[in-house]
Amino acid sequence: MSDQDTAIGAPAKRKEDRRFLTGEGRYTDDIDLHGQVYAYFLRSPHAHARINGIDTSEAMNAPGVLAIFTGEDLAADGVGGLPCGWEITDVNGEPMKEPPHPPLAQGKVRYVGDHVAVVIAESYYQAKDAAELVDVDYDMLDAVVSPADALEPGKPLVHDDIPNNQCYVWELGDRGAVDDAFDKAAHVTRLDLVNNRLIPNALEPRAAVANYSKGEDQYTLYTTSQNPHVIRLLMSAFVLNLPEHKVRVVAPDVGGGFGSKIFHYAEEAVLTWASRKVGRPIKWTAERVESFLSDAHGRDHVTHAELALDENGKFLAMRVDTKANMGAYLSTFASSVPTILYATLLAGQYTTPAIHCQVTAAFTNTSPVDAYRGAGRPEATYVVERLVSAAGREMGLDQAEIRRRNFIPKDAFPYQTPVALNYDVGDYDATLTEAMKVADVDGFDARRQEALRRGRYRGLGYSTYIEACGLAPSNIAGALGARAGLYEAGEIRLHPTGKVTVFTGSHSHGQGHETTFAQIVSDRLGLPFDDVEVVHGDTDRIAFGMGTYGSRSLAVGGSALMKALDKVIDKSRKIAAHMLEASEADIEYADGVFKVAGTDKSITTAEIAFSAYVPHNYPLEELEPGLDESAFYDPTNFTYPAGSHICEVEVDPETGKVQVVNFTAVDDFGNVINPMIVEGQVHGGLAQGIGQALLEGCVYDPESGQLVTGTYMDYTMPRADDLPSFKVGTKNTPCTHNPLGVKGCGEAGAIGSPPAVIDAIIDALAPLGVTNLDMPATPARVWEAINKAGATRAA
Amino acid sequence: MEQAMSTTIKVNGREHTVDVDPDTPLLWVLRDELRLTGTKYGCGIARCGACTVHLDGKPTRSCVLPVQSVSGREVTTIEGLGGREAKAVQNAWSGMDVPQCGYCQSGQVMSAVGLLSDNPEPTDADIDRAMDGNVCRCATYARIRAAIHQAAADMEG
């Protein structure tokens, strides 16, 4: 039992950790079902090829093989394609091009790792061995891997009927107003930017176990998902045409998602379908190489951006043209990431009056690209902050000063941006001022001089970012093309013993909901933290849910719980009035005690719970027994976490090696329920952002379309010795439109940090003439930039 | 699939006889045969550390370790971990909220306990060296560093 402080705002220790520290966590691959057999997915070795035929006869005779299915088998059984959940409307008014996405390839394979067939056998090794005997007759085709290439005329077509591989051209903002402002500008900053493609690499590979129970005519799918209800919805309604109530999806402990486990993947549908065909439970766990090849990747934008300023460094307008890679097919939320979640954030923290953004989305012969920690918002922040920092350097303005001249002032909220969002609240100067203090900006010059004496170059980089979280008001999302609602559901069940089970549609895969949500419920009901258990991740136990992404769990899922708690307290008040023989209006509630005002007559939540289930002295004529309330919450606006990141780097000019010597993040997350968990989330986001800036980069060979970075030998993951100890803090302004006043913190680190790192390096190397640098800033790339700048200056 | 053979291994102080191909990595014997699922698969090429167990007390990657090579040696998994260092590590981990998704943490704990058994007062550099084979995508590294120092202090106290 704990005697720790677990109130809202206290750093309660995580309930989850006991099982994680003793090997008792229960992840999907830890689950075995009686009689289970194993699946191996035969994947395309080619980036682009026509399938002339698949001969499975030899493989079918291999030991242990029970079945082999191909795309033709699925089609013959009426299995549909994997759906995209967001329809973007092209500038010409047409819907985006939405090619079929069969769970197993039909006619063509379109990326290395595309699913060709599934082999089901008594053991995994038998399935894998047999897959080698499947004879696929391919006609290889030329491949295209980069969005800029793919959109050029005459390039190979990923989908034969989609000209120029163009999924859509989409725009936001007033192009005329932007053009006018550029005409009047005293200065224009122009940048060509690459937002490097990333491979999510949750450490738990994707896995699934599916079972069809003939007796109950019921399907069960255990899967590594951030949103089991969404998987149930998509798989039932779009792919397998099953009645939703006959499908149970369970996402038990999930070993990291970072976006990559939002999406409905082919393996989930194929396993569920095949478990009925084979009559046995079927298990599949990705090998790491399959994670590299077939998890949806992130980012992959190429952008030209321009910022117009007046002579005082005031931003007049921004113009952005982005080419975004969709990969070979549209993954679940792919189309919304470089549009709705990107262009709407281009105002950043600034009063830029006119903004125009055009996005062209391209199909390529690569793995699908979709949301990865931050999803569109890191890409937007990278554009805005790189532009602002470059403008500051070009105009000779201090980096803090150019930002302060353009911040939306704290008394200007609610603030309508020119790119659709309405910010509710914020104080951007407060986080910047605090971050500069924590980062000891005043002492930087001395540190720079000291480093120079050692032959090292030091630099400071700033990023004052904003994000839109708490997805999302369903009506707004719907108007923008979302094909689902984006509310959340929750249920609070008090037991006769006074213990509580909390059911939430949010899913925890590292965020610590079992702790944070328990703090909220325990605090509101005045019941011990240890007596509150949070249940998530099972569509049979939780009525409904939309899951966890976009830093939405607390803002949306937590708000649903608050609504349910209000119902519990309202009903308890009625029960208390009856039991205390007082009028309901005279009942005061605080800290788990219902009291008749002005008397010492009182009753506790636990006593009321008992009475609700043993209603001997109970207002049965007006109230039902029981104390179990559920609620749905649909937000009225997005939330807008924001903050200031300051990165200090030291560069060795001889080797190009960059060391992050200090990283400061001061964020505004609104109210904080558990500061310890929040800080951990910030650490994680920063590491992924610094990883993107310095280490990580997904590379496909432009000729063959082969994935070059397909193992941990080739793709650099941030490790213990790559990261500094972070200095993190908060300066919070509570969200104005949700009952907890919270904004969300899961993605902030990954959104804010990349431009701070890159601009710190550019700042360090500015004396050598370096003005631009692409991510990842590997030693080779930095060394090359130094030498190129030197050569240019010498010339 | 090669021929299955009977191999006897000692895990967490108990002997087990398993019928598997002697080249089978220890990881899969632990998970699939002995149902000790606390040890995790991450990459299969000893580059992520999720599968770390102790072999005669030393952190070892079980995903590339043929089961035949551990015959006659002591294998300890997260489920069988005990002793002063383990207790200090698990307490520090819990007290400092180290885990997030938890998946890599068995491996992290095994590596940390191995480090402290060898070196009860590690520096930051010692920690980074000992732990840099353990990937954590949630990036709990800063807290791991702090928690190892905490565990070291607790062991002394």
Task: Round to whole Å and give the CA distance between A450 and A719.
Answer: 28
Query: What angle (nearest 5°) sits at the alpha carbon of residue A310, between those of residues A307 and A316?
Result: 50
Phi/psi at A675 (nearest 5 deg)?
-60, -30
ipTM: 0.97
What is the rounded end-to-end Cα distance, in angstroms, of chain B?
52
Q: Would an 8 Å CB–CB cutoff place A746 in contact with chain B?
A: no
Instruction: State the average pLDDT over residues A609-628.
Output: 97
Pick left, alpha or beta for residue A345 (phi over 0 → left; psi -120 to 50 → alpha; otherwise beta). alpha
Q: Which CATH architecture has domain A487-633?
A: 2-Layer Sandwich (3.30)
- Token pair for A399: 């980096």
Please, are residues A79 and A269 in contact by the beta-carbon 8 Å criterion?
yes
Contact between chains at A712 and B48 (C-beta distance less than 8 A): yes
Contact between chains at B1 and A25 (C-beta distance less than 8 A): no
User: B17-71 pLDDT, tens per residue?
Assistant: 999 999 999 999 999 999 999 999 999 999 999 999 999 999 999 999 999 999 9
Query: What angle (nearest 5°) sits at the alpha carbon of residue A370, between those of residues A644 and A485?
Result: 90
Residue B1 pLDDT = 47
- Token pair for A173: 């903002």
Instruction: State the average pLDDT over residues A436-463.
Output: 98
Please, are residues A170 and A361 in contact by the beta-carbon 8 Å criterion?
yes
Residues whose CB falls within 8 Å of the CB of residue A21, separated by 6 or more in sequence, listed in order:
B90, B93, B94, B99, B105, B109
- DSSP code for A487: -
User: A489-515 pLDDT, tens per residue?
Assistant: 999 999 999 999 999 999 999 999 999
Please, are residues B126 and B132 in contact by the beta-carbon 8 Å criterion?
no
The alpha-carbon gap from B157 to the nearest alpha carbon of chain A, in Å, equals 22
Same fold for the domain at A31-141+204-255+261-294 and the one at A301-471+637-794? no
- Between positions 194 and 213 of A, the ones with CB within 8 A of B are 200-205
**Among A124, A286, A115, CA closest to A203:** A286
Task: Round to whole Å and give the CA distance between A230 and A630.
Answer: 19
Task: Round to whole Å and give the CA distance between A497 and A610.
Answer: 6
Q: Mean pLDDT in chain A?
A: 97
Indicate whether A252 pLDDT > 50: yes
The alpha-carbon gap from A205 to the nearest alpha carbon of chain B, in Å, equals 7
Residue A795 pLDDT = 65
Task: Round to whole Å and give the CA distance between A128 and A59.
Answer: 10
Please, are residues A775 and A196 in contact by the beta-carbon 8 Å criterion?
yes
Residue B157 pLDDT = 74
User: A79-128 pLDDT, tens per residue?
Assistant: 999 999 999 999 999 999 999 999 999 999 999 999 999 999 999 999 99
| Polymer length of chain A | 795
Q: Would an 8 Å CB–CB cutoff place A714 in contact with chain B?
A: no
Over its C-alpha atoms, chain B yields an Rg (Å, rounded) of 16
Please, are residues B20 and B5 in contact by the beta-carbon 8 Å criterion?
yes
Q: Would an 8 Å CB–CB cutoff place A516 in contact with chain B?
A: no
Please, are residues A552 and A477 in contact by the beta-carbon 8 Å criterion?
no
**Measured between alpha carbons, how far is residue A185 from residues A178, A391, A416 in Å?**
11, 13, 23
- DSSP code for A163: G
Instruction: State the average pLDDT over residues A289-316.
Output: 98
Q: Would an 8 Å CB–CB cutoff place A132 in contact with chain B?
A: no
Please, are residues B17 and B7 in contact by the beta-carbon 8 Å criterion?
yes
**Measured between alpha carbons, how far is residue A709 from residues A293, A695, A714, B44 in Å?**
9, 12, 5, 16
Residue A196 pLDDT = 98
Contact between chains at A711 and B47 (C-beta distance less than 8 A): yes
Which of A203, A509, A720 is closest, CB to CB, to B141? Answer: A720
Instruction: State the average pLDDT over residues A416-435.
Output: 98
Residues of A in contact with B134 (CB under 8 A): 720
Contact between chains at A680 and B132 (C-beta distance less than 8 A): no
Residue A725 pLDDT = 83
Indicate whether A9 pLDDT > 50: yes
Contact between chains at B137 and A717 (C-beta distance less than 8 A): yes
Other beta carbons within 10 angstroms of residue B41's beta carbon come to 24
| Residue-wise burial string across A192-231, b where 16 or more C-beta atoms lie within 10 A, e elsewhere | ebbbbbbbbbbbbbbbbbbbbeeeeeebbbbbbbbbbbbb
Contact between chains at B94 and A17 (C-beta distance less than 8 A): yes
**Measured between alpha carbons, how far is residue A603 from residues A524, A600, A611 in Å?**
15, 10, 11
Superfamily of domain A31-141+204-255+261-294: Aldehyde oxidase/xanthine dehydrogenase, a/b hammerhead (3.90.1170.50)
User: A482-491 pLDDT, tens per residue?
Assistant: 999 999 999 9
Residue B156 pLDDT = 87
- Token pair for A162: 């989609």
Which strands make up the sheet holding A593-596, listed edge to edge? A587-590, A593-596, A602-604
Indicate whether A2 pLDDT > 70: no
Domain spans in chain A, listed from the N-terminal domain onward: 31-141+204-255+261-294, 301-471+637-794, 487-633
Instruction: State the average pLDDT over residues A384-394.
Output: 98
Task: Round to whole Å and give the CA distance between A735 and A230.
Answer: 27
Q: Outline where DSSP puts E strands in A566-607.
A: 587-590, 593-596, 602-604
Residue B2 pLDDT = 55
CA atoms within 13 A on the CB side of A187: 18
Instruction: State the average pLDDT over residues A462-478.
Output: 95
| Polymer length of chain B | 157
Task: Round to whole Å and give the CA distance between A326 and A309.
Answer: 33
| Residue-wise burial string across B49-84, b where 16 or more C-beta atoms lie within 10 A, e elsewhere | bbbbbbbeeebbbbbebebeebeeeebbbbbbbeee
Task: Count chain A–chain B contacts defined by CB atoms under 8 A.
Answer: 168
Residue A1 pLDDT = 46
Task: Round to whole Å and give the CA distance between A470 and B73.
Answer: 52
SS3 call for A321: strand
Indicate whether B119 pLDDT > 70: yes
User: A734-747 pLDDT, tens per residue?
Assistant: 999 999 999 999 99
Q: Would an 8 Å CB–CB cutoff place A696 in contact with chain B?
A: no
Domains of chain B: 5-80 (3.10.20.30), 84-156 (1.10.150.120)
Residues of B in contact with A507 (CB under 8 A): none
Fold held by A301-471+637-794? Aldehyde Oxidoreductase; domain 4 (3.30.365)
SS3 call for A211: strand
Which strands make up the sheet holding A207-213, listed edge to edge? A65-70, A115-121, A37-43, A282-285, A207-213, A218-223, A247-250
SS (H, E, C) A507-546: CCCCCCHHHHHHHHHHHHHCCCHHHEEEEECECCCCCCCC
Task: Round to whole Å and give the CA distance between A117 and A135.
Answer: 11
